[in-house]
Amino acid sequence: MGVSLLASTACTKIDNYEGPNASFEGRLIDVTTGENFQTTTGNIQVRLLQVSWSATPAPQEIPSKIDGTFKDTKLFSGTYKVIPVGGAFWPVLDTAQVDINKGSKHDFELTPYLVINNFTHFLDGKSLKLNFDIDAPIGAGLPTIIEIQPYVNTTKMVGPGASIFDYSDARKVVINKEWINMTPADKSIELTIPELASGRTFYVRVGVRVNDSFKSSNLSQIIEVKVP
């Protein structure tokens, strides 16, 4: 009798936890411009650790969107440690603690390793010439600059992991230099992409990759190029 009572009690126990109905969104802001950080889908991750649930929470990550914002609408309410990781910016050392509920918002200010200035392009027939300068908001302690490359795609979703290999990775220029050893000429870059396919519209940006833990790239804005 006692056993069956216990068993039936167990069966009627209801999961009365709230569903994942909280949300968290915000902007990743480039402190040098005040604009959204130049990133690409998933390039930066906002890492969440739900400290109100466990002392050793399993990390979950919200991938950045291509416009430098992030949003997740299926989170459990609670207190989270939040930290943006993975992009080409100086590590954010003081982890923010945020109470995430419905419609929670938080913006992060990030200092890029490198900024891309004076980005111009010139289409000569099917050959695209890209010119730009790179500068470092903070020079000391910058990770090694490993390579510079264009990213070309047929959609506006363009960047590392979303580009046409022959126009992008195949046009990589290896640098492998420390910032302090780069001459002004090294910092003024010209990339050429020959033989773009005729009659197509391409979306193009350039990136400079540094050798930090994530090997991620600082990216330019995206331009549209119509090849006649």
Q: How far is the CB of 140 from other proteins (least distance, A)?
A: 17
Report the Cα–Cα distance between both ends of the chain, in Å, rounded: 85
- Within 8 A by CB and 6+ apart from 102, the residues are 21, 22, 23, 77
CB 46 within 8 A of CB 108: yes
Total residues at interface with other proteins (CB under 8 A):
15
Q: Please report how close the Cβ of residue 222 comes to other proteins at its closest, in angstroms.
A: 20
42, 187, 215, 223: which one binds other proteins (CB under 8 A): 215
Tell me the C-alpha distance between 203 and 94, whole Å.
Answer: 36
What's the rounded Cα separation, in Å, for the pair 33 and 110?
Answer: 10
Q: Give the nearer residue to other proteins in terms of CB position, either 104 or 163.
A: 163
111 counts as binding other proteins under rule CB under 8 A: no
- Asked if 16 interacts with other proteins (CB under 8 A), we say no
Closer to other proteins by Cβ: residue 67 or 147: 147
Q: Which residues pair with 49 in a beta bridge?
A: 81
Decide: helix, strand or coil at residue 7: helix
Contact between residue 141 and residue 202 where contact means Cβ atoms under 8 Å apart: no
State in angstroms the smallest separation of the CB of 186 from other proteins.
20
Q: Which is nearer to other proteins, 77 or 168 (CB)?
A: 168
Single-letter amino acid, residue 3: V
What is the identity of the amino acid at 2? G
For the window 48-77, what string marks contact with other proteins as x by the rule CB under 8 A?
-------xx-xx------------------
Q: Is 125 in the site for other proteins (CB under 8 A)?
A: no
Considering only 29, 31, 51, 85, the residue that binds other proteins (CB under 8 A) is 85
Site string for other proteins, 170-199 (x = CB under 8 A): -------------------------x----
Rounded-to-integer distance, Cα 87 and Cα 103, Å: 25
Q: Which stretch binds other proteins (CB under 8 A): 20-28, 32-40, 182-190, 212-220?
A: 212-220
Contact status: 214 vs other proteins (CB under 8 A): yes
Q: In degrees rounded to 5, what are phi and psi of residue 181?
A: -95, 5
Q: How far apart are alpha carbons 62 and 25 in whole angstroms?
A: 9
Which residues would be at the binding site for other proteins (CB under 8 A)? Answer: 55-56, 58-59, 85, 91, 147, 165-166, 169, 195, 212-215
